[in-house]
Amino acid sequence: MGFSEEFELLTRACYPLLYIATAEEERVEAAITKSAQRLGNRTIYIWDFVEGYQHNSEGLGKRNPLQALEFIEKLPDKIGGIFILRDFQRFLEDISISRKLRNLARSLKSQPKNIVIVSPTINIPKDLAEVLTIVDFLLPTAHEISSEIEQILINIQQIPDPGLLDEIVRAARGLSLDRIKRVLTRCIALNGTLESSDVEMILEEKRQSIRQTQILDFYPATEEISDIGGLDQLKDWLLRRGAAFTERARLYGLPNPRGLLLVGVQGTGKSLTAKAIAHHWHLPLLRLDVGRLFSSLVGESESRTRQMINLAEALSPCILWIDEIDKAFAGADGKGDSGTTSRVFSTFINWLSEKKSPVFVVATANNVQFLPPEMLRKGRFDEIFFVGLPSTNERETIFQVHLSRLRPLSIRDYDIKRLAYETPDFSGAEIEQILIEAMHIAFSQNREFTTDDILEAASQMIPLARTAQEQIEYLQNWAYSGKARLASRDSRLTERDKNSNESV
């Protein structure tokens, strides 16, 4: 159900107090005006703190929010109206405003009147949580963006090119109409026309817009699949789905891929895989810090979750990367936070199950014991992969990747097979660190680093596989018992793990 349909249903059902969280005042007011025209018996009244009521009852309630509510109360019962109150959330903590709204919520149930609070943020005190109904107002659709761009092109007497129009629409998805107008006006002021080269300026505007939400980050993805050492089964799985977001795949009957849950040891390439997927599939990478979803205000955590979902869907097709999801939802049982974590988790998990939009979720977790059981249920993700410690062959590949980047001209000087053999239990991240330490050793002596320097650095480092042995053994036993698909064909156990399995 779209915004207009939901809004008109709520007004006909006599929901007295509605709350719309959006920064697009002009667009939402235009949408409400059209709805009022279709309803037929509603006059639009708009109030703000500086100007008071506009168009109707000019200036009434200026700098007086209580008077703005008293005006609604004094209107005859049979007069229909929609009262748009801009930024009214700032006054909701006032006892007189709160009491008046609750009184109005009771009296307006039998009248053709609706109060609509329009605010860029959700800020609802606990005593008003029962009487206020939050209505989602989504970012503009591709059709709305296309219509706006066509109008701009007509205004500058430029014939709309279908290919250029489609390219600009894709780049502008996820921006408000106001931002789209501003950035396109900037492009026209620079070039006199709209060109394909303007897409990068639009994308930069999008990056800035996403950063300002303080929920998602637009993450640059330059890593390639070839930068991942090992994980051949995972890479094969990803390569087979490289064209899964195309229209050709839809015509074939394939649904949009849902996502991956990567569980495994820290430093084994889970986050690197998320970046490589975005680069290989040529899709934008959005990084979600789940901690940013939570707020102390009633309803705001759930609202931020919906905002995150709406933004990700508006930017689709895209990759949504959620790092260390096990830590984010470890308290999903709701104990100790009045159920906020549980409600946020419920909203998120339901979206994972029901989503139809091409948002590919890549979630990573280090500790499967902290994951709620609902997260592991089939249908949430396309596949759950276990990413374990690299085998000897995989460590050889990892050394090859890093040394090719660090010393491409002298890579033959390094005994990579020996390095791989001498570093059991080391993860990919730890291999990178011993190379950096080896470079420090050699740099301090004003010479080139060697295989012996790398081995010396390795001898000084205690890998996580030894310091967190019990946790890693639990993860390995969980994966090898068939709970997850192995990311590598050459997946292995340490000697201790092999012996313990044999004894079992």
CA distances from 124 to 49, 296, 344 (A): 18, 11, 17
Question: Which CATH number do you get for residue 406?
Answer: 1.10.8.60
Let me know whether 232 and 343 are in one domain: yes
Peptide bond into 125 cis (omega under 30): no
Residue 410 and residue 448 in contact, taking contact as beta carbons nearer than 8 Å? yes
Query: How many whole angstroms separate alpha carbon 328 and alpha carbon 306?
Result: 17
Report if residue 471 sits inside a domain.
no
Q: Which residue has tokens 């689709």?
A: 316
The residue among 77, 110, 135 that closes a domain is 135
Do 288 and 180 reside in the same domain of the chain?
Answer: no
pLDDT at 71: 94
Examine residue 489 and state whether it is found in any structural domain, yes or no: no
Instruction: Give me the CATH number covering residue 72.
Output: 3.40.50.300
Q: Is residue 490 assigned to a domain?
A: no
**C-alpha pair distances (Å), 364 with each of 260, 327, 329, 427, 487:** 8, 10, 12, 16, 13
Task: Please tell me whether residues 234 and 375 are part of one structural domain.
Answer: yes
Beta carbons of 224 and 275 less than 8 angstroms apart: no
Q: How far apart are CA 126 and CA 138, in angstroms?
A: 25
How crowded is the C-beta side of 23, counted as CA atoms within 13 Å?
A: 10
Q: Where are the alpha helices (DSSP H) in 228-387?
A: 232-240, 247-252, 270-281, 300-314, 325-328, 340-354
Q: Is residue 130 part of a domain?
A: yes
Residue 74 lies in a domain: yes
* Partners of 365 in beta bridges: 263
Give the per-residue pLDDT at 298: 56
Question: Are 276 and 420 part of one and the same domain?
Answer: no
Could you tell me if 358 and 316 are in contact, meaning their C-beta atoms sit under 8 angstroms apart? yes
From 191, 213, 235, give the residue that closes a domain: 213
Provide Rg for the chain, Cα atoms. Answer: 28
Pairing mode of beta strands 285-288, 216-219: antiparallel
Say yes or no: 29 and 163 in one domain: no
Q: What is the pLDDT of residue 115?
A: 96
Q: Which domain holds residue 204?
A: 142-213
Give me the phi and psi of 382, to 5 degrees please. Answer: -65, -35
Domain boundary among 135, 153, 177: 135
Instruction: Please indicate, yes or no, whether residues 122 and 174 belong to a single structural domain of this protein.
Output: no
Instruction: State residue 209's pLDDT score.
Output: 80
In terms of Cβ atoms closer than 10 Å to its own Cβ (0-12, 13-18, 19+), residue 57 is middle
Q: pLDDT tens digits, the chain, 504 residues: what are they? A: 789 999 999 999 999 999 998 989 999 999 999 999 998 888 999 999 999 998 766 788 899 999 999 999 999 988 899 999 999 999 999 999 999 999 999 999 999 999 999 998 888 888 999 999 999 898 888 888 999 888 888 888 888 778 888 888 888 888 889 989 999 999 899 888 888 888 888 888 888 887 777 788 888 778 888 888 888 899 999 988 888 887 788 889 988 889 999 998 888 888 889 889 988 888 888 998 887 787 666 567 877 888 888 888 888 888 999 988 888 777 666 555 567 788 888 888 899 888 888 899 999 988 888 888 888 887 789 999 999 889 999 999 999 999 999 999 999 999 999 999 999 989 999 999 999 999 999 999 999 999 999 999 999 999 988 888 888 888 888 888 888 899 988 764 443 344 434 443
Q: Which of 273, 360, 361 is nearest to 317 (CA)?
A: 360
240 and 380 share one domain: yes
Residues 377 and 416 in one domain: no
d(Cα 428, Cα 397) in Å, to the nearest integer?
Answer: 10
Q: What angle do CA 127, 133, 134 make, to 5 degrees?
A: 110
Are the C-beta atoms of 458 and 434 separated by less than 8 Å?
yes
Q: Where are the beta strands (DSSP E) in 87-214?
A: 113-119, 132-135
Distance CA 226, CA 101 (A): 60
37 in the same domain as 84: yes
DSSP 479: I
> 292 lies in a domain?
yes
Tally of domains in the chain: 4
Task: Give which of 228, 246, 284 is closest to 429, Cα–Cα.
Answer: 228
Is residue 54 domain-resident? yes
Question: Among candidates 13, 55, 7, which has minimal Cα distance to 35?
Answer: 7
Question: For residue 17, is it within any domain?
Answer: yes
Same domain, 83 and 112: yes
pLDDT at 48: 94
Residues 379 and 437 in one domain: no
Q: Tell me what pLDDT residue 70 has.
A: 95
Query: For residue 333, what pLDDT is reported?
Result: 61
Count other Cβ atoms within 10 Å, centred on residue 231: 32
Based on the domain organization, do 408 and 380 belong to the same domain? no
The owner of tokens 């690299």 is 390
Q: What DSSP element (H or E) covers 73?
A: helix 65-74
